[in-house]
Amino acid sequence: GEKVEQHESTLSVREGDSAVINCTYTDTASSYFPWYKQEAGKGLHFVIDIRSNVDRKQSQRLIVLLDKKAKRFSLHITATQPEDSAIYFCAAKNTGYQNFYFGKGTSLTVIP
Amino acid sequence: GGIITQTPKFLIGQEGQKLTLKCQQNFNHDTMYWYRQDSGKGLRLIYYSITENDLQKGDLSEGYDASREKKSSFSLTVTSAQKNEMAVFLCASSIDNSAETLYFGSGTRLTVL
């Protein structure tokens, strides 16, 4: 089955700098790649996604890049703020199936 | 907006005990999921349900049962708790089985003594 590797387990950046979280996947049939944010003591909530028909998507300060050849996708958070501090999970899904495969999570700390 | 409510928030059990976790959603979503979150690991799918009375096994279904008797609720039973087990169980829902955005509850933290 699909395996999603999330490369950074922890990441610290200074407020205003950019943060980048990288994920790789194994199944070439995966075509949908969402990112979720988990704040302390809460469930995950959706932040941004990308589908395999594009290689870049931006929503305000969040940019997702997808390199299908390398089976790699990344989340870029620009102009970071302290409230961006959380655990971020990447995931991959084959649209023909129900299961999302999640990475292990990256704990991001934004230092004021 | 809607909300997913998981009860209890914290569950302490004994080895071998049968334990039930409950999840309610008021989004009127068709599809519901149970994921297990272990420290340092990604979420793993235990069971999901496309609609009322439907049950589908995920990758981690062994040792668990699930029940979807109403559209709004989805319960998960640990059939025999394992000693020293610690995990967070997350319930999620989506509009239907083709929707790709999941809405999560805040989790039930299980500790087995």
Say yes or no for a CB contact (<8 Å) between A100 and B43: yes
Residue B85: its pLDDT value, please? 82
Angstrom distance (rounded) from CA B24 to CA B49: 13
Angstrom distance (rounded) from CA B63 to CA B110: 14
Q: What is the pLDDT of residues B38-53, one digit of tens each?
A: 988 889 999 999 999 9
The residue of chain A nearest to residue B45, with distances taken between CA atoms, is A99
* Residues of B in Cβ contact (< 8 Å) with A104: 40-42
pLDDT at residue B97 is higher than 80: no
* Residue B84: pLDDT band with limits 50, 70, 90: confident
Residue B72: its pLDDT value, please? 96
* Residue B54: pLDDT band with limits 50, 70, 90: very high
Residue B25: its pLDDT value, please? 97
* Paired tokens of A79: 């102009």
Nearest to A99 among B31, B40, B45 (CB): B45
Nearest to B101 among A9, A46, A101 (CB): A46
Q: By the 8 A CB rule, do B68 and B9 touch? A: no
* Residue B100: pLDDT band with limits 50, 70, 90: confident
Residue A41: its pLDDT value, please? 84
Say yes or no for a CB contact (<8 Å) between A6 and B105: no
* Interface-testing mutation among B25, B49, B100, with chain A (most A C-beta atoms within 10 A): B100
Cβ contacts of residue B60 below 8 Å, gap of 6+? B36, B44, B45, B46
Mean pLDDT, rounded, of chain B: 93
- Beta bridge pairs of residue A109: A12
* Residue B98: pLDDT band with limits 50, 70, 90: confident
Residue B39: its pLDDT value, please? 84
Q: By the 8 A CB rule, do B73 and B30 touch? A: no
* Residue B56: pLDDT band with limits 50, 70, 90: very high
* Residue spans of chain A under pLDDT 70: none
Q: Label the pairing between strands B108-112 and B86-94.
A: antiparallel
